[in-house]
Chain A
Amino acid sequence: EDQVTQSPEALRLQEGESSSLNCSYTVSGLRGLFWYRQDPGKGPEFLFTLYSAGEEKEKERLKATLTKKESFLHITAPKPEDSATYLCAVGSSGGYNKLIFGAGTRLAVHP
């Protein structure tokens, strides 16, 4: 069964304190690993797609990496505006452009 697990559920950081969020997955036929950011009261906002182990993508203070079993979202020197819920999803070959989502990590960055 396709499954995505994110950890930790919640993370509190001080401004400038770097850390990583984890997304582990099992999927039949990976069709990409996707990261989204979701602010309270809004829809998820697309950040990155990773397709193969060893691939990395960067955007400002965020860097996403991928292995055969998990992905990490590294946050370097975070700022309060990075506070959000970060969602991970995998594309599965089992259906039409099907995405399986994890439950998310709530990140709070304090000044």
Chain B
Amino acid sequence: DAGITQSPRHKVTETGTPVTLRCHQTENHRYMYWYRQDPGHGLRLIHYSYGVKDTDKGEVSDGYSVSRSKTEDFLLTLESATSSQTSVYFCAISGTGEYEQYFGPGTRLTVT
């Protein structure tokens, strides 16, 4: 299994509170991704990173920000959580020149 961990694995929070999810990899891969997975929508890309301090938006980036200060860590922040952000969040990694992505175990986030 790819060395990817996500924390926390489960979180319940209230509307309007900030939330940060963490992805940690031990593979030294250049690319890291954050997806959300919702019934009927499949996996949708939120943000991705192509190196330390290099990030860009995906298709559903509104309300989310990311940071990558080290190769191994990629943080996803919900500045002010809303109920529409209740979802399962997956982190993924891939190597340079590789399209194959390897996924973490996911974080189930519930915003009440």
Contacts and interface: CB of A to CB of B under 8 A. Distances in A.
Interface stretch (A40-48, A61-69, A74-82): A40-48
A101 B101 CA distance: 12
B34 interface: no
Interface stretch (B11-19, B39-47, B63-71, B73-81): B39-47
A4 to B, nearest CB: 8
B99 A99 contact: yes
A36 B41 CA distance: 16
A43 B104 contact: yes
A111 B48 CA distance: 42
A98 interface: yes
A64 to B, nearest CB: 14
Interface string A32-59: 1010100001111110010000000000
Nearest to B9: A41
Interface in B1-39: 4, 31
B105 A97 contact: no
19 contacts: A31-B99, A32-B99, A41-B106, A43-B4, A43-B90, A43-B106, A44-B90, A46-B102, A49-B99, A89-B43, A91-B99, A96-B31, A96-B56, A97-B94, A97-B99, A101-B43, A101-B44, A103-B40, A103-B41
Interface of B: 4, 31, 40-45, 48, 50, 56, 90, 94, 98-106
